[in-house]
Chains A and B, each alone.
Chain A
Amino acid sequence: MEITLNHYLAVAATLFVIGLMGVMMRRNLIIIYMSLEMMLQAANLTLVAFSRFNGHLDGQVFVFFVITVAAAEVAVGLALIVALFRLRQTTQVDNLTTLKF
């Protein structure tokens, strides 16, 4: 079987949905954050697949920017989660109740 663009897109879409489910269902901040990264990687995979099959290099260049920005975001995000853990000794979302939802 030949691997076509649609196969890549399907894998990426699956990853994206798994990530989205993870963000919504899981209760641990670290896991939620991991799922967020998974969603970004799904978008990256889509970009690379389109780029490869359509012959435009812009998509692959964009992926480098996304990776760099994601790294910066993780640096800030993990710092926040660590600060929260120091204060509360937990990273469970259910315990974040100072502000009512």
Chain B
Amino acid sequence: MIPASDIAYFAPELILTIWAMGLLLAEAFFSLEPRTITSGALAGILACFLVTALFDATPTLFWSDMCKWDGAAKFFHLFFLAVAALVIWMGDEVQEPVSHGRGEFVVLPLFTTVGLMLLAATNDFMLLFISLELATISFYILVAYQRRNLTALEAGVKYLILGGLSSAFLVMGIAYLFGITGSTRFDAIFNWLHGHHALQTGVSFGMLLVLTGVGFKIATVPFHSWAPDVYEGAPNSITAFLSVGSKAGGLIILMRLVLGIFDTESAAAVWIPVLSVGAIASLLLGNLSAIPQRNLKRMLGYSSIGHTGFILVAVIGASVSLAASPYPTDAATGQIAVTVYLVSYLLATFTAFIVLAVLERRLPGLEIHHLAGLSQRSPLLAAAFALSLVSLAGIPPLSGFIAKALVVLVAWNRGLYTLLFFTIFAAVAALYYYLGPIKAMYWSEPLDETPIRLNRATSGVLTALIVLLIVTGFWAQSISALVNGSNLSPNATPAAPVALIQH
């Protein structure tokens, strides 16, 4: 018998699942307007958001200890709901509506969100696998939704093959971890690792396979090859969803694994070097390959690989087992840095993709030279795109600067000097390709002078995102207040409040 409190903790997932199924049925029986379904889905997300915000972040295990509710779970629940709301609104309002099945295109992201939310609260490898697949399989469909469009279909098939490969690695890794430690529960595996000081080959083998599987999801080098193709081929709203939602989903899993299970001295000796190499390779390859790109979606695809590298530096800095750390108590800052980075990345990425979705309907293509003179055709679009790129590049005073500064601070404080060097090098290299489109928008003559008109909702949302980009740049404490106390390690005392850089 499941205690009542367990059901209460499942409220966000239950509400969203039932709501999504209800919408699908309602669409089938009453043939609703796509507009109505969009509003219905947004209302469901809002309800779910309010319910989730009501829970406090006290760490609790529930559902036979398969799930864990804590600060990180709460933060990521709210994060994924915000992402879903933007994706659904974008999919129906901003970009060219899909040619068929508009109702399903609105409802499917809800199921993806349920998968991602479960992922944020998982405490068991079985649940991890199932929730990850729930999210991934709905992503396969969403990426290839325009199935009469060859580009989209090709992107979908590539994502399918590489996604399937990553699942196979993941299950094989889980099998070995289960075989050696005798449990699929995170806390049980952590205790087992603590009891055995020497690391067995089977455990490190399983750990590396699982990290490979997760590496595909967050698009870290060398498992990144799908990202630019899929980003280019998928509909804009889904590209943004993949770029923010799927990456954040992979990262919460990565943090739960490396900071929650594998943060013992012997295991950290294996995963910290592996992740460091991945982080450096992502920083270099992502940022350097973005430079020659002419297609904006592809450029953002490569840049998102680079951003994975920045976030990985913060994840490594959050480990309590770092040997040579001058400030060993500072591990919590690493987690705060990851969350702040993700929030700033969400704001900037969605601003950029909303602009691209509008432009895709008005411009002949999405190459950099098509942006020429955009500032004269639509000042708001040009300003929004410029600010999002400036924030992604990490130029003060926007929110991207605080995020990058925190990553640098974490790397410095934890003694990760090699990573620090590559972080700064990559941040400087990134300036180059982020400034290219801005130059085209403001200092090139437009080929076509007709102004681009925006409807009221689009300009409202874009303005709100711009304001948030600036506000979070000045008051990063507001993000840190949201995530304070989100400590992932099962044996650590609750994190002391961490002061972020003050302005």
Task: Report if A and B associate in a common complex.
Answer: yes
Interchain CB contact under 8 A, B176 and A46 = yes
Q: B480-495: which residues lie under 8 A (CB-CB) from chain A?
A: none
Q: In the bound complex, do residue B156 and residue A73 qualify as a contact, i.e. CB atoms below 8 Å apart?
A: no
Q: In the complex, which residues of chain B have a beta carbon less than 8 angstroms from the beta carbon of A87? A: 148, 150, 153
Q: Interface size class for chain B? A: 35 or more
Which one of B137, B160, B168 has the greatest number of beta carbons of chain A within 10 Å? B168
B172 — which chain A residues lie within 8 A by C-beta? 16, 39, 42-43, 46
Kindly list chain A residues whose C-beta atoms are within 8 Å of the C-beta of B144: 80, 83
CB contacts (< 8 Å) of A23 on chain B: these are 161, 165
Cβ of B151 within 8 Å of any chain A Cβ, yes or no, is: yes
Contact between A83 and B165 (Cβ–Cβ < 8 Å)?
Answer: no
Q: A61-B126, A65-B129, A76-B160 are in contact. Are A43 and B171 (CB under 8 A)?
A: yes
Stretch at the interface among B178-186, B254-262, B399-407, B458-466: B178-186
Asked if B199 is at the interface (CB within 8 A of a chain A CB), the reply is no
Residue of B nearest to A38 (CB): B168
Bits for A65-77, please: 1 = Cβ < 8 Å to B, else 0.
Answer: 1100100110011
Contacting pair B137 A73 (CB below 8 A):
yes
B150 pairs with A66, CB closer than 8 A: no
Interface size on A, residues (CB 8 A): 41
Cα–Cα distance between A83 and B141 once the two chains are bound (Å): 12
A69 contact from B133, B176, B183, Cβ within 8 A: B133
Q: Is the CB of B153 within 8 A of A83?
A: yes
Residues A47 and B175 in contact, CB atoms below 8 Å apart: yes
Task: Tell me which residues from 39 to 94 in chain A have a Cβ below 8 Å from any Cβ of chain B.
Answer: 39-40, 42-44, 46-47, 49-51, 54, 56, 58-59, 61-62, 65-66, 69, 72-73, 76-77, 80-81, 83-84, 87-88
Check: B437 CB closer than 8 A to any chain A CB. Answer: no
Kindly provide the distance from the CB of A66 to the nearest chain B CB, expressed in whole angstroms. 6
Q: How far is the CB of A21 from chain B (nearest CB, A)?
A: 12
**20 extra interchain contacts, Cβ-Cβ under 8 A, other than A36-B168, A77-B160?**
A20-B165, A29-B157, A32-B161, A33-B164, A36-B161, A43-B171, A44-B175, A58-B184, A62-B126, A62-B184, A72-B137, A73-B167, A76-B137, A80-B140, A80-B156, A80-B157, A84-B153, A87-B148, A99-B151, A99-B233
Can you name 9 A-B residue pairings with CB atoms under 8 Å? A19-B168, A40-B168, A40-B171, A43-B172, A46-B175, A46-B179, A73-B140, A76-B160, A99-B155
The residues of A with any CB-CB pair to B shorter than 8 Å are 16, 19-20, 23, 29, 32-33, 36, 39-40, 42-44, 46-47, 49-51, 54, 56, 58-59, 61-62, 65-66, 69, 72-73, 76-77, 80-81, 83-84, 87-88, 96, 98-99, 101
